[in-house]
Amino acid sequence: MITSKTISNGILRALLTLTLCGLVLFFFYQIQSVLIYLVVSFILTLIGNPILDFFKKRLKFKHIFATIATLFIFILIIFGFIMMFVPLILSQGQNLSLLNTAEIEKNIVQLINQITVFLDNHQIDSAQVLKEANITSKINFNFIPNFLNTILGTISSLGVGLGSVLFITFFFLKDRLMFILGIKKLIPNSHEDQILNSLEKINHLLSRYFIGLLLQLFIVFLLYLIVLFIFGVPNALVIAFLCAVLNIIPYIGPLIASFLAAILTMLSNLGSDFQSEILPTTIYVLIGFWIVQIIDNNLSQPIIFSKSVSSHPLEIFLVILIAGFLFGILGMIVAVPLYTIIKVMGKEFFPENKIIMLLTKDI
């Protein structure tokens, strides 16, 4: 029989549960930086595991020295990355006037006026429409300087974060067996083999995925750089770097990169004749970028998405599309690793399910 005391106790328990959940979420929100450090360290550990095994198995390093050597490689890569790009972004970013909202608005107004003159000389009425629409008043010119300021701010505040990430990564690599033994003690005996097998497969697949992703971004950066150098675009390194970083976002990133490249190419050539120099150069750069994206979509991405995580390209496309609709850009970025984890866990715990068998036949 349900009494008022039972109802009140149920309500009280529900309130306590909600309060506890709220406190846990608030706690995670307060330590979000630490959680980010842990996630980044985990990713670096996945990337570093094959390197660590190479030092141990091929070069016969002891475990501690193999760990130090792996971490040293990470430090060299990060240091080289910083030494290569930070001075370029600081100096050439100033040349592009991307850190000055008023200046970039002035430059874009000048660019729009040049486009208007070009259209007017070709008897296109849209030039007058462009003037009457007053597009410059409707564009938020803060987006480009904010974008670069975010990058510069992130780079300038990376000291503590970078040190923390490398410190955590060192112990993730050094004590990975200890962590595995700790996980064994926490998981139920009935599911121990399934969970450990899942972790091993996830580690293997995601290690290949993240290494492949870094290689893809480097290839795209080089191809973008070649295109910009061929057509003599100023600040080619910075533009190629920013556009390559955008390729982290599947499918949408390259489109944004093309738009950004077109805008920065025009701004970099301000002062030149629009019809004979700015417009042709921008068109050639866009064509070059589209060719790079065709190469990337048909060579680099299928190898990474299909080979590294053992999934069909159409399957990956649908997963990324659904994740984008549900969770936006962040969902698209994490869709492939998360989907891979779900597939591996599904195969271990539901191996007889026909759908699982179909999706995981190559794992």
Q: How do residues 127-142 score in pLDDT, each as one tens digit?
A: 555 555 554 454 555 5
DSSP for 170-227 reads HHHHHTHHHHHHHHHHHS-GGGHHHHHHHHHHHHHHHHHHHHHHHHHHHHHHHHHHHH
Average pLDDT score over residue span 21-46: 82
Q: Mean per-residue pLDDT for 280-287?
A: 87
| pLDDT-wise least confident of 35-39, 87-91, 158-162, 295-299 | 87-91
The answer to whether residue 97 scores a pLDDT higher than 60 is no
Does residue 236 belong to any structural domain of this protein? Answer: yes
Mean pLDDT of the chain: 76
Taking residues 26-40, what's their average pLDDT?
81
* 339, 363 contact by CB (below 8 A): no
Question: Any bridge partners for residue 272, and if so which?
Answer: 270
User: Does residue 221 fall inside a structural domain?
Assistant: yes
Put simply, whether the predicted model's pTM sits higher than 0.85 gets the answer no
Indicate whether 316 belongs to any domain: yes
Partners of 270 in the β-ladder: 272
Amino acid identity of residue 345, one-letter, is: M
How much is the average pLDDT of 196-219?
Answer: 81
5 within a domain of the structure (yes/no): no
Average pLDDT over residues 4-20: 80
Q: Quick one: three-class SS letters along 39-94?
A: HHHHHHHHHHHHHHHHHHHCCCCCHHHHHHHHHHHHHHHHHHHHHHHHHHHHHHHH
pLDDT at 123: 63
Cα–Cα distances in angstroms (integers) from residue 292 to residues 133, 287, 304, 334, in the given order: 35, 9, 16, 24
Per-residue pLDDT for 223 more than 60? yes
Domain-embedded: residue 328:
yes
What is the model's pLDDT at position 1?
56
Q: Mean pLDDT over residues 334-362, rounded? A: 80
Three-class SS state of 270: strand
Averaged pLDDT, 59-78: 88
Note the pLDDT tens digit of each residue in 191-203: 777 777 887 788 7
The three-state secondary structure class of 235 is: coil
Decide if pLDDT at 211 tops 60. Answer: yes
Span of 7-16, 52-61, 250-259 with lowest mean pLDDT: 7-16
98 pLDDT higher than 50: no
Host domain of residue 292 = 207-363
Would 73 be classed as within a structural domain? Answer: no
Residue 330 resides in a domain? yes
Which of 202 and 125 is assigned the larger pLDDT?
202
pLDDT of residue 312: 78
Total number of domains constituting the chain: 1
* Cα–Cα dist 334/135, whole Å: 36
pLDDT at 15 over 70: yes
Residue 23 has pLDDT above 70, yes or no: yes
Burial of 61 (0-12, 13-18, 19+ CB in 10 A): middle
**Cβ-count burial 221-242 (b if 16+ within 10 Å, e if not):** bebbbebbeebebebbbbbbbb
Region 252-278: what's the mean pLDDT? Answer: 78
How does 180-191 read in b/e, with b if 16+ C-beta sit within 10 Å?
eeeeeeeeeeee
Answer whether residue 165 is part of any domain. no
Task: Output the CA angle 80-81-84, nearest 5 degrees.
Answer: 80
- Let me know the angle formed at the C-alpha of 220 by 295 and 98, rounded to the nearest 5 degrees: 130
Q: What is the reported pLDDT for 148?
A: 54
Alpha carbons 288 and 214: distance in angstroms, whole number: 22
Task: Report in angstroms the alpha-carbon separations of 102 from 144, 299, 300, 348.
Answer: 12, 42, 40, 58
Phi-psi bin for 273: left (phi > 0), alpha (psi -120 to 50), beta? beta
Q: Which residues contact 332 (CB under 8 A, 6 or more apart)?
A: 249, 250, 251, 252, 320, 323, 324
Per-residue pLDDT band for 96 (boundaries 50, 70, 90) equals very low
